[in-house]
Structure 1
Amino acid sequence: MSLMRNMNRALTSATGLQVRRAPKEQPAPPAKKTPVKRPAPEYRCTDDPATDRLLRRPVFIMSPVRSGSTLLRMLLDAHTRLHAPHELHIRRLEVDYGSKLSRRAMDALDLSRGDLEHLLWDRVLHRELTRSGKDFVVEKTPSNAFVYQRIRDCWPDARFVFLLRHPVSIAQSWHEGDPEKRTYDEACADALRYMKAVDNARKGITGGHTLRYEEITADPEGRMRALCTFLGVDFEPSMLEYGARDETQVQKGLGDWRDKIRSGSVQAGRELPKDDEIPEVLRPICKAWGYLK
């Protein structure tokens, strides 16, 4: 090594040129594996909820992302009979067999993988409700709209609330929540997936209750009175001042976490966009939801 350095110095002194070692070749990064999506499991509809389910008459808020579902769950959670925790993402709780024998054993009990997942979902929600000491649980994860059929089949007595908002406001809020992650155009396309899922759920479920974010911010008492009537509970004025929340109660990734929600009361919504501000990709859903003639 010292001989090589001396030779380099001599060459540099004589010619002004420097000799540098060629950089070592870096190994190529391993190729990213595309995650394999498991097919949706088979399951049977619950014929006897008294045997298969602990939970009774759960409430599911079907809404797109950034549609005001966290505000709605705060208002409902302030009711003495309703427990509305943060987003629980139960549809991502999956069950698998550890061995062929365990599968045979469950088959003998007439329990498929989907049935086992439903038992797990039910137990998680029932545990959360029991800990709260209240009567009914409210679950508001937006992605539930993609599996509304499973939720309906899992809990035949479930009640569904459909929360809508102007699609442009949804897309704007979705973009502003993480502007480095998604452009406005990407936010429009991504949020539209949720809007279509909610629209399919509205068409596929009868007897639900629909309300709009703009109605909640304009007339919170009137909208909450109507929703309480649908849910079979008395309206409580204390719902409208649900109280300030800290970081342990409002977490990014499990619902809205920003200042409006932390304030503890209903805040005015953003100004609605004009018709000529609606991107072409959102115009059909705006018409379907009555935001565009």
Structure 2
Amino acid sequence: MERLVASPVFILSSIRSGSTLLRCVLDTHSHIHAPHELHLVDLTVGMDSQFARLAMQVAQLDERKLEHLLWDRLLHRELTRSGKHLVVDKTPTNLLRWRRVAECWPEARYIFLLRHPVHVVESAIAARPHATPAESAELVELFLTHLGHARQALSGITIRYEDFTAEPERVSRELCAYLDVPWEADMIEYGKGDHGPFLSGIGDFTERIRTGRVLPGRALPSDAEIPEGLRPWCRALGYL
């Protein structure tokens, strides 16, 4: 089925991996629109009457296809309102339903964003005071499981949060080359642009993201400092 946005870009990452920082840098580019988290895959449609169901059956549209039309239309609205020509969606929960994303947009492109699992878990615990540390760790493991599956099935570019914060110019140049847009030096100073409100539930909302610039990341933990339960994930992502 034709799409209004044929080849959107999706950042696939675990929660607390720096995707808001990455989207702000990309959104600063004159050709790229990277809005706040849209949570597209959580939007559903319904048919409240037998006549609506019959009409959609004749139109060869089931609820799944109607949802895809809705998601595509919302992305197109975002892109049109921005006046740019490339849209990037960074909602982390897209990763949990990456197969639906790939089904909706067969020509989508992907940026896989990795971060050291120890720091992801620590950040998740700090950002989720309503949950126990064990619950936050389990949630991160769920995201990392889906991340592994998505990276095996989909083609895209992989970047690490640690590389991005240490060498933002080099990594942003690599991203621009992958997205086929010219690199722009102003991308790094994303605070010069308006990227919408930083609110809990649609992206990072901490003081670090509000600084408007790429800050150095923390030093990586030594192998001895990695908890036994996170070692398989660190090994799978190349951190151990």
1:255 pairs, out of 200, 203, 215, with 203
User: With structure 2 as the length reference, what TM-score do the two structures score?
Assistant: 0.96
The correspondence of residues 191-210 of structure 1 with structure 2, limited to 5 A, is 191-206=140-155, 208-210=156-158
Task: Compare CA radii of gyration and give the structure with the larger one.
Answer: 1
CA–CA separation in structure 1 for the residues paired with 2:128 and 2:101 = 30
2:139 is matched with 190
Structure 1 residue 81 corresponds to structure 2 residue 31: yes
CA–CA separation in structure 2 for the residues paired with 1:254 and 1:170 = 18
Length, aligned pairs only: 240
CA–CA separation in structure 2 for the residues paired with 1:146 and 1:107 = 29
2:44 is matched with 94
2:102 is matched with 152
CA–CA separation in structure 2 for the residues paired with 1:162 and 1:101 = 43
The correspondence of residues 239-278 of structure 1 with structure 2, limited to 5 A, is 239-243=187-191, 249-278=197-226
Most deviating of 61-70 and 144-153: 144-153
CA–CA separation in structure 2 for the residues paired with 1:221 and 1:248 = 23
Structure 1 residue 114 corresponds to structure 2 residue 114: no
CA–CA separation in structure 2 for the residues paired with 1:281 and 1:120 = 40
The one-letter code matched in structure 1 to 2:203 is: G
Q: Deviations over 1:94-142 (max 9, x none)?
A: 0111111111110111111000000000011100110000001100011
Kindly indicate whether the alpha-carbon contact (under 8 Å) linking 1:244 and 1:262 is maintained by their aligned counterparts in 2.
no
- Displacement of 1:88 in angstroms is 0.4
CA–CA separation in structure 2 for the residues paired with 1:247 and 1:220 = 18
Higher RCO (CA 8 Å, separation ≥ 6 residues): 2
- Displacement of 1:152 in angstroms is 1.2
The one-letter code matched in structure 2 to 1:280 is: E
CA–CA separation in structure 2 for the residues paired with 1:281 and 1:193 = 13
The correspondence of residues 118-137 of structure 1 with structure 2, limited to 5 A, is 118-137=68-87
1:227 is matched with 175
Structure 1 residue 218 corresponds to structure 2 residue 166: yes
> Aligned Cα RMSD in Å?
1.5
CA–CA separation in structure 2 for the residues paired with 1:162 and 1:130 = 25
* Structure (1/2) with the larger helix percentage: 2
1:55 is matched with 5
CA–CA separation in structure 2 for the residues paired with 1:191 and 1:120 = 29
CA–CA separation in structure 2 for the residues paired with 1:139 and 1:127 = 13
Runs (5+) with no aligned partner, structure 1: 1-45
Kindly indicate whether the alpha-carbon contact (under 8 Å) linking 2:35 and 2:195 is maintained by their aligned counterparts in 1.
no
Kindly indicate whether the alpha-carbon contact (under 8 Å) linking 2:128 and 2:136 is maintained by their aligned counterparts in 1.
no
- Displacement of 1:182 in angstroms is 2.2
- Displacement of 1:246 in angstroms is 8.2
CA–CA separation in structure 2 for the residues paired with 1:186 and 1:54 = 39
